């Protein structure tokens, strides 16, 4: 009886143990299923994220993944990519996991010979958990290094900024550093918001940053860049630059400064050009120059708008204007009384001084302030410079300033001022971002009357038909183009030298309904041939004509040879 009870007790114990083990097994199965389901959900979510990422294989076969982008794309006004983020492999090491340092150094230098042997050995020695070895390598280099099978060596994907147009828009875009942070140009400007903070704390990566549209038209940018490269070669110049503005909106459609650099290699911005350090600056916004007779456009607008000078007036230019022991004369003087249109057409320094004197030097100085010459450029570029204009003009200072000598201004200041003079008289700040005419009108500041604006347009067209801009107009025939040349002697060893000149040309088109203003500068141009000259009409002017002929159709401007257009530009007082 006792044996029977003992057997039953053992049977109950065995069945209880089996039941307990079964319950534990079921629980383990449930936990395993839960882990697998969770892993499946995580993997599925990641696949959905990657599947929704926008990829592009357009550039050098490098896959572009917006999920790893840390900067917004920069596009031109038509949506063409100017700057994008691409994913690139960067090589790092975990020194504490490296078994044979000498073997690792030898093998890595076979693939990356640019690495210094001592530096690399020191880098791979120790118990650190992470050190960078080489940043921004190519996929081919990554594949070859992985095949080496070196323990403690691996890659991390990073975002690298890529500029498809290389040098073409260098001074607009600027550059970024190795950590993809803006260090110049628009790239630095856009970091001025919250982007730099996001990058610093690692939150910029993985965010879908909205693209930024600039006002630049890359079609026009390419055309201007090509023509300025040609100008440097054609005239054996040391530098050239240009800017094109929509004068109704203030939008910059093109900005080029040569010599330039490759933003994909930011260090190239610091390289000397023809042995000269610092030559690769943005001359349009960060360079100031004596713009010569192009500045007469400003003086004429001031004098005519004051009412103290009329378009029908005449001034004595028979002899030079004396200031103490100095006498200011004309380059090719007519030595007679000149009408206001003739003073502009013949670019008479004497006549321009007489007009400024009729206006008054204080009023003339106030007009320069009104046109924004005392203010910093309102442009979205960090690389800017203030103009150099005396706060109060002496008699001789006002006289030389009236024809663009003794003062230095940026080409963009001049372009914006001339744009205001010919667009009907409204100053609008320049911008590198898209702006509609309705938005621009909210920023308008009246600087001259519409009647004065029409008279200056007539003078610019007259100069193209009969004056120093004839050669430029011949090239851009049909596009109702007009402008003013300026040739200034450069200061060498604190003295003006006739052997080194600075040429500038300010223009506008189409003058019956002007929409665009352009400034072109060429530094130290030489004669193109024995029959040509070195004054601006022979170089900066002709370059402007070539650019207008090349871009007018892109801007929707058709050639028109109807003589009535020019007749209608003539002021009623002169008809």
Cβ pair 326, 399 in contact under 8 A: no
Task: Using the CB atoms, write b or e for 359-390: b if 16+ within 10 Å.
Answer: bebeebbebbebbbbeeebebbbbbbbebebe
Topology classification of domain 64-213: Penicillin-binding protein 2a (Domain 2) (3.90.1310)
- 189: which DSSP letter? H
Tokens of 555: 């801007």
* Cα Rg, the chain, nearest whole Å: 34
| Cα distances (Å, whole numbers) of residue 173 to 221, 256, 520 | 12, 11, 20
Q: How far apart are CA 574 and CA 355, in angstroms?
A: 18
Q: How many CA atoms lie within 13 A of 33 on its CB side?
A: 6
Measured between alpha carbons, how far is 140 from 300 in angstroms, rounded to an integer? 63
The H or E element that residue 105 is part of is helix 101-111
pLDDT tens, position by position, for the chain (575 residues)?
545 445 545 555 555 555 555 666 676 777 777 777 877 776 766 555 544 444 333 333 333 444 445 789 999 999 999 999 988 899 999 999 999 999 999 999 999 999 999 999 999 998 888 999 998 898 899 999 999 999 999 999 888 899 999 999 999 999 999 888 899 999 999 987 555 444 444 444 444 578 999 999 999 999 999 999 999 999 999 999 999 999 999 999 999 999 999 999 999 999 999 888 889 999 999 999 999 999 999 999 999 999 999 999 999 999 999 998 889 999 888 899 999 999 999 999 999 999 999 999 999 999 999 999 999 999 999 999 999 999 999 999 999 999 999 999 999 999 999 999 999 999 999 999 999 999 999 999 999 999 999 999 999 999 999 999 999 999 999 999 999 999 998 888 777 877 889 999 999 999 999 999 999 999 999 999 999 999 999 999 999 999 999 999 999 999 999 999 999 999 999 98
Residue written as tokens 């983020």? 85
User: Can you give the residue ranges of every domain in the chain?
Assistant: 64-213, 284-536
Burial label, 32 (beta-carbon count in 10 A; 0-12, 13-18, 19+): exposed
185-192 contacts, C-beta under 8 A, 24 or more apart: 185/263, 185/381, 185/382, 185/383, 186/74, 186/212, 186/214, 186/380, 186/381, 186/432, 187/71, 187/74, 187/83, 187/161, 188/382, 189/380, 189/381, 189/382, 190/71, 190/72, 190/74
| Predicted structure pTM score | 0.82
CA distance 49 to 55: 12
Q: Any idea which residue has 């914006």 for tokens?
A: 416
CATH topology of domain 284-536: Beta-lactamase (3.40.710)
Task: Compute the distance between CA of residue 197 and CA of residue 192 in angstroms, rounded to an integer.
Answer: 9
């Amino acid at each position: 009886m006792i044996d029977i009870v003992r057997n039953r007790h053992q049977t109950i114990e065995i069945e209880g143990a089996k039941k307990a083990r079964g319950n534990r097994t079921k629980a383990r199965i449930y936990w395993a299923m839960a882990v697998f389901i969770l892993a499946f959900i995580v993997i599925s979510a990641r696949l959905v994220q990657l599947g929704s990422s926008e990829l592009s294989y357009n550039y050098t076969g490098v896959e572009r993944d917006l999920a790893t982008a840390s900067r917004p794309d920069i596009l031109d006004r038509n949506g063409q990519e100017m700057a994008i983020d691409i994913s690139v492999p960067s090589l790092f090491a975990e020194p504490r996991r490296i078994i044979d340092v000498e073997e690792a150094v030898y093998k890595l230098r076979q693939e990356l010979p640019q690495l210094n042997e001592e530096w690399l050995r020191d880098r791979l020695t120790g118990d650190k958990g992470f050190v960078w070895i080489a940043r921004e390598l190519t996929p081919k280099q990554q594949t070859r290094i992985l095949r080496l099978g070196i323990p403690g060596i691996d890659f991390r994907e990073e975002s690298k900024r890529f500029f498809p147009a290389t040098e073409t828009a260098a001074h607009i875009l600027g550059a970024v550093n190795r950590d993809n942070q803006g260090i110049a140009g628009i790239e630095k400007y856009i970091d001025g918001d919250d982007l730099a903070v996001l990058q610093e704390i690692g939150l910029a990566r993985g965010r879908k940053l909205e693209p930024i549209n600039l006002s630049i038209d890359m079609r026009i940018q390419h055309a201007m860049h090509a023509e300025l490269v040609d100008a440097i070669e054609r005239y054996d110049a040391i530098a050239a630059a240009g800017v094109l503005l929509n004068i109704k909106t203030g939008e910059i459609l093109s900005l080029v400064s040569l010599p330039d650099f490759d933003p994909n290699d930011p260090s190239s911005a610091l390289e000397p050009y023809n042995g000269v350090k610092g030559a690769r600056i943005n001359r349009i916004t960060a360079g100031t120059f004596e713009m010569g007779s192009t500045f007469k456009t400003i003086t004429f607008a001031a004098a005519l708008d004051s009412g103290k000078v009329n378009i029908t007036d005449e001034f004595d230019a028979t002899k030079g204007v004396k200031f103490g022991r100095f006498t200011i004369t004309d380059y090719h003087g007519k030595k007679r009384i000149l009408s206001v249109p003739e003073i502009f057409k013949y670019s008479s320094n004497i006549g321009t001084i007489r007009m400024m004197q009729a206006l008054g030097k204080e009023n003339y100085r106030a007009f320069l302030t009104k046109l924004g010459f005392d203010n910093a450029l309102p442009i979205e570029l960090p690389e800017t410079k203030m103009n150099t204009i005396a706060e109060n003009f002496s008699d001789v200072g006002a006289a030389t300033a009236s024809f663009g000598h003794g003062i230095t201004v940026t080409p963009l200041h001049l372009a914006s001022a001339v744009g205001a003079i010919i667009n009907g008289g409204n100053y609008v700040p320049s911008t590198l971002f898209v702006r509609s005419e309705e938005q621009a009108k909210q920023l308008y500041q009246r600087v001259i009357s519409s009647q004065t604006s029409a008279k200056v347009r007539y003078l610019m067209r007259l100069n193209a038909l009969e004056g120093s801009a004839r050669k430029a107009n011949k090239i851009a025939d049909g596009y109702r183009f007009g402008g003013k040349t300026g040739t200034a002697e450069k200061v060498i060893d604190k003295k003006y030298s006739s052997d080194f000149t600075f040429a500038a040309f300010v223009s506008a088109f189409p003058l019956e309904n002007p929409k665009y203003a352009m400034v072109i500068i060429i530094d130290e141009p030489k004669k193109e041939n024995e029959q040509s000259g070195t004054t601006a009409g022979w170089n900066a002017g002709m370059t402007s004509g070539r650019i207008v002929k090349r871009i007018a159709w892109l801007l929707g401007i058709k050639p028109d040879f109807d003589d009535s257009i020019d007749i209608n530009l003539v002021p009623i007082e002169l008809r």
